């Protein structure tokens, strides 16, 4: 049986599709002309008042220092490098916050579904408190704790050997980079592949035999083993830059400031309360018959969550979880309230020095829009992978 030929396009005003295309083109042209008029009028008024405009200031020396950054920044470097430092600081706190808030929120959600009354009450109280206090007030509270309640730098807390925690922040040992560390990185990459292959094999055996074998701990063991072998092959580099306490400060090693810790802890605690409710709602959306089936198969509670409930709940969890991820990224702009040099803070400094308000604000808006769109795109890809597929 031959397939019918595709319908031909009718480029005539009688065609509804043709008219719709023309209307869309006219609407886009109209919007473009209106935007061009507004921009032209704005720049004309700015020139009449002697206000400079343009993005040429990016190549001028910034003239200010940045207290915390992933790479060295000098005041003689230009504004473009300063913006890149601010972006790296924003990503540094946002990415770590996404991981920590997801883990903590999932644990709190599971705790709210626990049969233990104490655990359930504590997790419920955590959710209600964190969600009903504004984030800005929580940041002020954490900043007060970091700068006033912690001991001074002369007598810091020492939770581990070589780790110092005080009003000055957190100092910890850092590995000294050597060429042999490439072997460790290669081994860890191989470990990720081995972990994934092991997990896939366990799932395939479970579908065939119905016997659930552990996948997380053996996969983690393979990951660590491959990294250890790579470390040995690379010559076992073990030199550490260990911080040392002096009369006035702690020098050496790696460190994070109280401002970074304040923002990270505040964003993690605040967002995890919302993520906990999202995960709890997703788990409770799974039919109770699935729980009965898991009990009939003799699965443990952890196996039931990992193999039955969470995979089915993900299609309910992912869409609102994406919204919480976007909120965390945008809420990181409150870093300016605690003095953390993020993108907004550096843009505000550049605005005050150059007077290019439109350019600075537009650039920050564009960057946050790009980050949000990239996050949404990544979560949409993950959502398509996790959705139930028809056979």
Q: What is the pLDDT of residues 77-109, one digit of tens each?
A: 888 889 999 999 999 999 999 999 999 999 999
Q: What is the pLDDT of residues 125-147, one digit of tens each?
A: 999 999 999 999 999 999 998 88
Side-chain-facing half-sphere of 250: CA atoms under 13 Å: 28
Dihedral sign of CA atoms 18, 24, 27, 31 in order: negative
Residue of 188, 186, 162 whose CA lies nearest to 175: 162
244-245 and 240-241 beta bridge pairing: unpaired
For the chain, list residues with pLDDT below 50: 1
The per-residue pLDDT for 199 is 87
The per-residue pLDDT for 202 is 84
- Structure tokens belonging to residue 153: 């730098």
Give 220's contacts (C-beta < 8 A, 6+ positions apart): 195
Residue of 344, 390, 391 whose CA lies nearest to 367: 344
The per-residue pLDDT for 244 is 80
DSSP for 132-151, please give it.
HS-HHHHHHHHHHIIIIISP
The per-residue pLDDT for 168 is 84
Cα–Cα dist 255/245, whole Å: 13
The per-residue pLDDT for 122 is 95
Q: Is there a contact between 255 and 171 (Cβ–Cβ < 8 Å)? A: yes
The per-residue pLDDT for 351 is 87
DSSP for 92-117, please give it.
HHHHHHHHHHHHHHHHHHHHHT-S-H
The per-residue pLDDT for 5 is 57
Cα–Cα dist 159/172, whole Å: 10
pTM: 0.81
Cα–Cα dist 354/51, whole Å: 10
């Amino acid at each position: 049986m031959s397939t019918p030929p595709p319908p031909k396009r009718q480029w005539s005003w009688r065609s509804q599709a043709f008219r719709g295309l023309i209307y869309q083109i006219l609407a886009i042209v109209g919007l473009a002309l209106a935007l061009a008029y507004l921009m032209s009028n704005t720049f004309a008024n700015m020139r009449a008042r002697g206000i400079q405009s343009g993005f040429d200031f990016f190549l001028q020396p910034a003239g200010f220092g940045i207290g915390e950054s992933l790479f060295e920044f000098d005041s003689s470097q230009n504004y473009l490098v300063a913006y890149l430092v601010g972006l790296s600081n924003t990503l540094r706190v946002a990415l770590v916050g996404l991981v920590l808030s997801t883990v903590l929120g999932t644990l709190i959600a599971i705790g709210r579904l626990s049969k233990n009354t104490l655990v359930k009450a504590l997790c419920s109280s955590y959710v209600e408190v964190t969600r009903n206090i504004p984030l800005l007030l929580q940041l002020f509270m954490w900043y007060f704790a970091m700068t006033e309640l912690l001991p001074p730098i002369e007598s810091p807390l020492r939770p581990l050997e070589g780790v110092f925690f005080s009003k000055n922040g957190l100092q910890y040992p850092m590995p000294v980079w050597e060429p042999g560390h490439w072997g460790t990185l290669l081994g860890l990459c191989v470990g990720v592949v081995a972990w994934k292959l092991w997990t896939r094999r366990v799932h395939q055996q479970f579908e065939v035999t119905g016997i659930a074998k552990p996948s997380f701990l053996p996969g983690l063991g393979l990951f660590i083993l491959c990294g250890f072998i790579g470390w040995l092959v690379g010559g076992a580099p073990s030199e550490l830059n260990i911080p040392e306490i002096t009369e006035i400060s702690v020098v050496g090693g790696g460190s994070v400031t109280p401002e970074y810790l304040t923002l990270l802890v505040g964003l993690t605690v605040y967002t995890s309360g919302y993520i906990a409710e999202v995960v709890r709602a997703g788990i409770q959306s799974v039919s109770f018959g699935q729980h009965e089936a898991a009990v009939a198969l003799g699965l443990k509670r952890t196996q039931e969550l990992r193999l039955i409930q969470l995979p089915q709940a993900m299609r309910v969890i992912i869409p609102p979880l994406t919204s919480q991820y976007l909120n965390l990224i945008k809420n990181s702009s409150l870093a300016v309230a605690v003095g953390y040099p993020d993108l907004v803070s550096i843009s505000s400094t550049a605005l005050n020095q150059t007077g290019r308000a439109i350019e600075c604000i537009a650039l920050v808006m564009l960057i946050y829009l790009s980050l949000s769109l990239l996050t949404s795109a990544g979560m949409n890809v993950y959502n398509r992978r996790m959705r139930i597929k028809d056979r």
